[in-house]
Amino acid sequence: MKIVKLLVILIMLTMLSGCVLTKIVTVTMRLGAAVVSVVPVVGNTAHDAIDEVAEKIDEIPI
C-alpha cells in the first residue's frame, strides 16, 4: 500500500513540472484579472497588466 501511495505522489510531481505548473499559476492570475475587470475605471487597466504578466510567465521555459 505504501508503494502505491509513493508511486501516485511521484506521478503527480512529474505532472506538475514544466508547462502544467506555469498554467496553474497563470490560470489563477487570469481568473483574478477577470474579476478585477468588473471594477469601473481601473478594472480594464488592471486586467491588461495582469494578463501581460501572465503571458510572460507562460513564456518561461520550465
How far apart are alpha carbons 35 and 17 in whole angstroms?
Answer: 28
- pLDDT of the chain along its 62 residues, tens only? 788 888 888 877 776 666 667 777 888 888 998 898 888 888 889 989 999 998 888 887 76
> Under the phi-then-psi rule, with left for phi > 0, alpha for psi from -120 to 50, and beta for the rest, what region is 39?
beta
Give residues with Cβ within 8 angstroms of 29, minimum separation 6: 50, 53, 54, 57
Domain span including residue 32: 2-58
Let me know how long the chain is.
62
Q: What SS3 string covers 35-56?
A: HHCCCCCCHHHHHHHHHHHHHH
For the question of whether the overall pTM of this predicted structure is more than 0.75, the answer is no
Name the residue with cell 506555469: 22
